[in-house]
Structure 1
C-alpha cells in the first residue's frame, strides 16, 4: 500500500509541521492531512552499524532484521500474518549511523498498527531459531556478494577509505564471524541503542495531535531515557590518489571512486550540491555522462553523489566499462573532476542545474511516506522545519563565484580514491 496522492498541498511546507512533545517525553513532527485515509510514520534511532563491536560486524543489521520476526503473543509467522491481514506496512533497517523503521496503515487500523509497532520495539522475541534463520539469510547474501562486482568494489573502496574505523567494517557482517552473532549480543546492542534520546519521529496523515501523542507514549514511552553509544571518531576519507584493484575474470570492470566532501553545515554546502549535479548528479545532463557515455560510449551509467555519514562527508561515484577501456574511462573521469575544480561551470550548466534541483524538489513530497522520511532526515541532520521553505531559495542564490569556490573545495586537485573489480587495462 502506497499513498500515491499528495499528502498535503503546501505553499509553505514548514507551516504545516506541528511539533509534538508527549507527556512521556517523546518528541515528533506531525503533518496532519486527511486527503487520503492513511497514516505514515518514520522513525530513526541514532546508532547503527558503526556501533557494532569490532569483532561482531553485522549485529545492527541482524537486530533490525529480527524485530518483526515474532513479538509479544506472536511467533514470526503469526506476526507477519497480523500485519498482512490489516494491509499494514511495517519494516526496519540499519545503516551506518542509525536504526530506522517505518509504518504505514489505513487510518481505521491505526490502533492495531501502533500496537504491533510497540511489540516489535519492546517485546521482540529474538528467539534462537529466528536468529539462526535470519542469520542464514545474511550468510546467503554475503556468499552471493563475495563474487558480485559491485559489492566487491564497494568492499575494496570502504576498506581503503576507512582503515581501522567502524565505517570500514561491513554493515551486514562477514562470513568469518557472522555465525558468532548470538541472542545475548543482540539483546546487549538493543539495550544500548533503543532509547528516547536521539529518537526522531515524523508522522504524516489522517491523525490529530492528541491521538498521535497518546499512541507515541504507548509505543515509545517504555524505551529507556538515555542510550549508550560508543564514540565514533571523525574521519576524513583516506587513500585519495590510490588504486585498489581486485582481479575478477569478467569482461568488464566496475569502478568505484570518491574523495572527501563537505558537511551540510558548511557555508558552501548548497553550492556543492549544484556543483555535484553538474559533474555527475544530473544523469543525462551531467559532464561525466556526456563525456564517458555520450561522446565515447564507454559506460551505460556513470554518476557522482554527495554522501554524508555522521562522521565523514564524501563525494562518491561509480561506473562500469569494458576491461580494455577501463583505464581510459578512469582518466576521463579524473580529467573532468580536475577541470571542473580549475574552471568551474559554464553559465548554461549553472542555470540548468539550479532549475532542475529546484523543480525536482517537490517530488520528495508527493506521498505521505516520502514527506515523513524527509522530516526524519531533517531532524537527524539537526535542521528546523524552516529548511523546507528555505532550501530552494538557497539553491537559487548560488552564483557563479559561489559555485566555483565550492568546486575547488569539493574537487580539490582532482585526486580520487579508486576501487576497480575486473581485469582493467591501461590503469
Structure 2
C-alpha cells in the first residue's frame, strides 16, 4: 500500500484522497447504477451507527467525507482537522470497512436518483447523452448509464451492495494521496488502521478495451425548443508523444472558454449558443453545445468548419503562444490552490 504525501503545516487541515480501481464499468448487467448508489450511501451509516448517528458524529468531528463513482474508479475524499483526527479517522475506518446499507437510507437515496432520472427524461442534453453512449460504445459497459435506470435501481438489494463493496474495496486496487498537517510516520499508522483490514485483492469483472464507433450521425427527434449537439473525433492517449501538443490544440479549439475559436465563431460572432466547448477524454476529442432547434443545422456546420480548419491549418503562432501562457499561468490556480486540489492532482 503506497500513499503520496505533501506535508503542509502552515494550515491546520488534512485532506485525503483515495481511489479504488473499478468504478461504474463494474456495474452488473441489469443492475446499472450500483456503483453510484453505493457512493451515495457512504455516510449513511456504518458499524454501530445508523445514518443519523453517523452524520451527527461526523459533524461533531468537524470532518467532511464523500464518495463518487466514476467510470474507472470509486473515488473518495476526506477533510479533517488535525486536533480531531482520532474521531475523523475512526469514522472513515467504519465507512470503509463496515458499511451498513440499511434499507431506509437505500430507499431514500435511490428515490433521489430516480427523481433525477425522471427529471432528465425531457432534457435534450441527457437524451443525447444516452443515445450517444449506445451508438459509440454498443453493448460495452461504457454505454450503460452511470446513474442506472428506474428498473435497474429497483432491483438492487442490500446484499448486492455488500457484495459489490467487498469486490471493489481491496488493497491491491487502492491509490492514496494526502496533503496537510500530518507527518509520514503518523500517516503510515493511520493508513494501516484505515485500510489494513480490507481484503488484499479485488475481484473485478474483466472489461475489454473498446474503440468508439465514430463516423456516424445519430439523431433523436424531440418536440423541444433546444437542440443538444455532440461531436467526437479520435482522441490521443495520455502516453502518446503528442499528448501535450493535443492539449494545447484543444485549448485553442474550445478548451479555453471565452477565448477559444469555437466560442468566437459560435457565440461571439453569431450568438447561436450560450456555451460551446471542447475537451479531451481518455478516448476521444469531444465538442458539445446547445442551441435553438431552428439553428441546429447552422451551428453544426460551423462547428465542423472550425474543427476542419484546425485540422488542416493548425493554430497560428500567436494562438499557440497564448495557449501556453494560459495553461501554464492557470495551472497553480486551478490545480494547486488548496490542500484538496493538490490531493486531487496527486491522486
- TM-score normalised over the length of structure 1: 0.79
Q: Which residue in the other structure is 2:331 paired with?
A: 361
2:33 counterpart of 1:33:
no
Q: Which residue in the other structure is 2:278 paired with?
A: 304
Contact map agreement 2:33 2:152 (CA 8 A) in 1? no
2:220 counterpart of 1:220:
no
- TM-score normalised over the length of structure 2: 0.97
2:81 counterpart of 1:106:
yes
1:50 Cα offset (Å): 0.1
Runs of 4 or more consecutive aligned structure 1 residues displaced over 4 Å after TM superposition: none
2:234 counterpart of 1:264:
no
Q: 1:244 aligns with which of 207, 215, 218?
A: 218
The 2-side partners of 1:120 and 1:234 are apart by 32
1:135 Cα offset (Å): 1.4
Report Cα offsets for 1:382-412 as digits up to 9, x if no partner: xxxxxxxxxxxxxxxxxxxxxxxxxxxxxxx
Aligned-partner SS, 1:350:
helix
Q: 1:352 aligns with which of 318, 322, 335?
A: 322
Contact map agreement 1:157 1:257 (CA 8 A) in 2? no
2:155 counterpart of 1:180:
yes
Aligned-partner SS, 2:209:
coil
The 1-side partners of 2:188 and 2:284 are apart by 38
The 2-side partners of 1:30 and 1:177 are apart by 40
1:72 Cα offset (Å): 1.1
The 2-side partners of 1:324 and 1:227 are apart by 51
The 2-side partners of 1:136 and 1:261 are apart by 37
1:317 Cα offset (Å): 2.0
Q: Which residue in the other structure is 2:178 paired with?
A: 203
The 1-side partners of 2:121 and 2:251 are apart by 32
1:297 Cα offset (Å): 1.1
Contact map agreement 1:40 1:205 (CA 8 A) in 2? yes
Question: Alignment RMSD, CA only?
Answer: 1.1
Q: Which runs of 5+ in 2 are unaligned?
A: none
Q: Which residue in the other structure is 1:154 paired with?
A: 129
2:262 counterpart of 1:292:
no
1:336 Cα offset (Å): 1.1
The 2-side partners of 1:54 and 1:316 are apart by 27
1:258 Cα offset (Å): 1.5
Q: 2:310 aligns with which of 310, 321, 340?
A: 340
Aligned-partner SS, 1:243:
coil
Q: Which runs of 5+ in 1 are unaligned?
A: 1-25, 377-427
Report Cα offsets for 1:311-362 as digits up to 9, x if no partner: xx11112111111111010011011111111111111111111111111111
1:138 Cα offset (Å): 1.4
The 2-side partners of 1:191 and 1:245 are apart by 40
Aligned-partner SS, 1:246:
coil
Contact map agreement 1:237 1:259 (CA 8 A) in 2? no
Aligned-partner SS, 2:172:
coil
Q: 2:36 aligns with which of 28, 47, 61?
A: 61
Report Cα offsets for 1:223-277 as digits up to 9, x if no partner: 1111111111111111x23222222222221212222201110111000000111
